[in-house]
Amino acid sequence: MYTLRRKGRTSPEPLTLSRGSVRAKFQAEPGIDPTAPSPQAPALVSGSSPATLAKRRGPLKAPTLVLSRDPQNIYDPTFFTAFANNVPAASPTPTPDVLPSARTFVRNVFTGLLVGMPDGVGNPIPVEFWGFRDPNDPDPLKQATFPSKAIRVVEGEIFHCTLNSSGNTHTIHWHGMEPTPMNDGVGNLTFEVATSYTYQLRASTAGTYFYHCHKNTVLHFEMGMYGLLLVDPPNPSGLGAPLQPPYPSGGPGFVRRGNEIVPYDVEAVWVTDDVDPAWHTRAQILGPNAGFGSGPALDPYPSAGLNVFTPKYFLISGVPQPWCGNPPNDPSHPGVAVTVRVGQTLLVRLLCAAYSLNRFTIQGIDAEIIAMDGRALGQAPYAQYSQPEVIFSGVIFDLTAGRRLDLLIKPTANDIGTHKMGVEFRNYINLQTMGIAETFIQVIQEE
Ligand SMILES: [Cu+2]
DSSP labels, 320-353:
EES--SSSSS-TT-TTT-EEEETT--EEEEEEE-
DSSP labels, 265-282:
SEEEEEEEEEE-HHHHHH
Q: pLDDT digits over 157-185, tens only?
A: 999 999 999 888 999 999 999 998 889 99
**Does residue 268 carry a pLDDT above 90?**
yes
Band (306; pLDDT cuts 50, 70, 90): confident
pLDDT more than 70, % of the chain = 75
Q: 21 phi and psi, to 5 degrees?
A: -95, -5
* Ligand 1 geometric centre to CA of 384 (Å): 40
Distance CA 297, CA 52 (A): 12
- Please indicate whether residue 243 or residue 10 has the higher confidence score (pLDDT): 243
* Ligand 1 geometric centre to CA of 114 (Å): 17
Compute the average pLDDT of residues 386-402: 96
* Ligand 1 geometric centre to CA of 130 (Å): 8
* Ligand 1 geometric centre to CA of 55 (Å): 23
* Ligand 1 geometric centre to CA of 136 (Å): 20
- Please indicate whether residue 44 or residue 369 has the higher confidence score (pLDDT): 369
In this structure, of 37-41, 227-231, 424-428, the range with the lowest mean pLDDT score is 37-41
| Predicted pLDDT at 324 | 61
Residue at 346: amino acid letter: L
In this structure, of 231-235, 239-243, 279-283, 392-396, the range with the lowest mean pLDDT score is 279-283
Q: pLDDT digits over 368-389, tens only?
A: 999 999 999 999 888 889 999 9
Band (301; pLDDT cuts 50, 70, 90): low
In this structure, of 139-143, 234-238, 256-260, 284-288, the range with the lowest mean pLDDT score is 284-288
**Does residue 245 carry a pLDDT above 50?**
yes
The residue ranges of DSSP E strands in 85-206, in sequence order, are 103-117, 125-133, 148-154, 158-164, 173-175, 196-202
CA end-to-end distance (rounded Å), the chain: 66
**Does residue 97 carry a pLDDT above 80?**
yes
Total residue count of the chain as it appears in this document: 447
| Predicted pLDDT at 115 | 93
3-state SS of 110-122 is EEEEEEEECCCCC
Q: pLDDT digits over 177-216, tens only?
A: 999 888 999 987 888 999 999 999 999 999 999 999 999 8
* Ligand 1 geometric centre to CA of 290 (Å): 12
Distance CA 364, CA 420 (A): 8
* Ligand 1 geometric centre to CA of 160 (Å): 19
- Short-list 321, 271, 269, 265, CA closest to 438: 321
Q: Are 212 and 226 in contact, with CB atoms under 8 Å apart? A: yes
Distance CA 348, CA 230 (A): 12
Would you say the pTM of this structure is higher than 0.85? no
* Ligand 1 geometric centre to CA of 292 (Å): 12
| Predicted pLDDT at 63 | 41
**Does residue 116 carry a pLDDT above 70?**
yes
* Ligand 1 geometric centre to CA of 265 (Å): 35
Distance CA 278, CA 310 (A): 8
Can you list the domains of the chain with their CATH numbers? Answer: 3-34+47-84 (no CATH), 101-232 (2.60.40.420), 241-276+311-447 (2.60.40.420)
**Does residue 73 carry a pLDDT above 90?**
no
| Predicted pLDDT at 28 | 30
* Ligand 1 geometric centre to CA of 29 (Å): 27
Q: Enumerate long-range contacts of 319-326, CB under 8 Å, 24 or more apart.
A: 320/115, 320/116, 320/117, 320/118, 320/275, 321/436, 321/437, 321/438, 321/439, 322/118, 323/118, 324/116, 324/117, 324/118, 324/119, 324/122, 324/124, 325/116, 325/124
| Predicted pLDDT at 77 | 58
- Give the SS3 label for residue 406: strand
Band (232; pLDDT cuts 50, 70, 90): very high
